[in-house]
Amino acid sequence: MEEKNLSLIGKLLFFSPSEREPSYFTNSLIFICEHSQEGAIGVIINRQIDLKTDNLLKGVGLDTQNLLSPKHLLIGGPVNPGSVFVLHSSEKEWESTLKITKDVSLSTSKDTLEDIAKNKTPKEYLITLGYSGWIGGQLDQELSENAWITIPGDFNIIFKTKPADQINAVSKLLGFNIQMVSPEFGNA
């Protein structure tokens, strides 16, 4: 019997806390950008760092005098932390834009950063350094072990909720506190 791959593209994942095994991903919300038999890629959306957009843009040699409101950058994950990913609303596209859902896209090219520096931004965006990745079958295996909670990719939670408030917003959306869920359930 052929097993169907349940794609998580456009969904949020939350790492189930475990007292036994603390993880890099504990209390992280990850937006899944790609999920196939080859593997999965996502970006953490709730781990803000003390670096702002203007620092990043200046660091890559861009003029930021037109940037109206610098945003905090986010740690997107442990893979390639020197790479820049812009998760944004889909009304704007660049050379490298990958449309994930009808409302959310991901861009990685320098022209994206050039437009942000000129304040020619999409309506909503966030910038992450690095990403989270899984090899083929790894994420599916972790899901079968109850390591992750799957959540609808709610636009307002992703873009309009402060990173520090996103876990509470997801808990409210689901109707239970996701931080209280243990990975030790449901494997009888």
Q: What is the DSSP string of 36-83?
A: ETTEEEEEESS-EEEEEHHHHHHHTT---TT--S--EEEE--SEEEEE
Does a structural domain hold residue 24? yes
Give the domain CATH number at 117.
3.40.1740.10
Q: How far apart are CA 63 and CA 143, in angstroms?
A: 44
The token pair at 68 is 């109206």
Domain membership of residue 26 as a residue range: 12-180
Does a structural domain hold residue 6? no
Does a structural domain hold residue 158? yes
Which pLDDT score, from 0 to 100, does residue 68 have?
A: 83
Locus of tokens 């986010």: 74
Does a structural domain hold residue 4? no
Structure-derived torsion over alpha carbons of residues 19, 30, 84, 117, reported in degrees to the nearest 10:
-120
Indicate the pairing of strand 48-52 with strand 12-15. Answer: unpaired
Q: How far apart are CA 38 and CA 146, in angstroms?
A: 21
The token pair at 48 is 């803000």
DSSP 162: -
Which pLDDT score, from 0 to 100, does residue 7 have?
A: 87
134-169: per-residue pLDDT in tens? 999 999 999 998 889 999 999 999 999 999 999 999
Q: How many CB atoms lie within 10 A of CB 70?
A: 15
Quote the number of domains for the chain.
1
Q: How many CB atoms lie within 10 A of CB 47?
A: 19
44-97: per-residue pLDDT in tens? 999 999 999 999 999 999 999 888 888 999 999 999 999 999 999 999 999 899
The token pair at 149 is 């909670």
Does a structural domain hold residue 188? no
Does a structural domain hold residue 30? yes
Does a structural domain hold residue 185? no
